[in-house]
Amino acid sequence: MSTTPEPGHDRSEGGLSAIVGERRHLTNVAYRLLGSLTEAEDVVQEAYARWYAMPRAQREAVESPGAWLTTVAGRICLDLLGSARVRRERYVGEWIPEPLLDRTEWISGPVSGDAADPAGRVTLDESVDMAFLVVLESMTPAERVAFILHDVFRYAFAEIAVIVGRTPVACRQLASSARRRVRAASAAEASAVPVAGRAGLVRSFKEAWEARDIEALVGLLDPGATLTADGGGLAATVVPPVEGSERIAAYILRIADIAPGLTLLERAVNGQPGLVAQRSGVTVTVAAFELTGARIARIWVIRNPEKLRPWTDR
């Protein structure tokens, strides 16, 4: 698994344009490491602040500014991942990675990858799929950093060792352990829904919800399906996760009854077909789906308004 743009450590230009050009790459790395676009942007800003805080002579002595910035950003992310475990123990309810919108669905005309919106700098591929990001949450901080930098961005273990503070051999072992976690979580993908059918399944789910058709909803859900919701204590939602197709269908229809006036829109969420619920034009819920065996196996519902800020003005 790899993604674009290519690792910044191959760039040696020291000019201002080359330094600014690293922002897209750094944002891509930080979002995958943290699962939060907001935190990723903070990390990138901090990395640049540290770069410009150095004396000019010291900056000019850096052979590869891209490698320097990635190393600093990686170390900041590693520290944040360690503290995130403590923060999430105090988090109200379930924690789900921050959903990523596809800017091309919201903005007419050509869109630059270096637009002011940080979402426009994240490459939408399988490494930002919500199911993949959720698996990453089960890893230790060092596993996550080693795996993402090596398997997704193709950094050498010698480079990763500088960031993680371990030997290249240890980093290889960390990435291997993380890879086993991903493979175990992806065991059901042999019967995964083809790309062409994913949008159709999500559309059928939307239509069944709008029609209040509980039988249709149950038929679209895997019997062992799970719905996990993240309100962060700032928006009402179900805690703990809802399990089973019948229970999920009943819960969804209950929401439809107690929250009238919602408009469901089909939107890409982290590069995959998803749904967005709006009230009076304001996004209040984003739903991501994992589809296996021609049915819906997992639903992630994000209602925490702090995670929906990039969606609220669309």
Question: Phi, psi (5° rounding) for residue 168?
Answer: -60, -35
Prior bond of 110 cis (ω within 30°): no
pLDDT reported for residue 3: 57
* Residue 29, beta-bridge partner list: none
Q: Mean pLDDT for the chain? A: 88
pLDDT in tens, 215-269: 999 999 999 999 999 999 999 898 899 999 999 999 999 988 888 889 999 999 9
DSSP state of 312: H
pLDDT reported for residue 193: 64
* Of 175, 141, 166, 155, residue with least CA distance to 67: 155
* Of 169, 143, 139, residue with least CA distance to 157: 169
Q: Does residue 50 or residue 92 have the better pLDDT?
A: 50
Domain ranges in the chain?
8-185, 190-312
By DSSP bridging, strand 295-302 and strand 221-230 are: parallel
Taking the C-alpha atoms of residue 286 and residue 203, their distance in angstroms, rounded to an integer, is 15
Place of tokens 């800017």: 103
Note whether 311 and 302 are within 8 A (CB): no
What contacts 134, CB < 8 A, 6 or more positions away? 96, 97, 300
pLDDT at 84 over 60: yes
Q: How many CB atoms lie within 10 A of CB 45?
A: 12
pLDDT band for 12, please (50, 70, 90 cuts).
very low
- Burial (Cβ within 10 Å: 0-12, 13-18, ≥19) of residue 4: exposed
pLDDT band for 123, please (50, 70, 90 cuts).
confident
Taking the C-alpha atoms of residue 197 and residue 23, their distance in angstroms, rounded to an integer, is 35
What topology is assigned to 190-312 in CATH? Nuclear Transport Factor 2; Chain: A, (3.10.450)
**What global pTM score does this model have?**
0.87
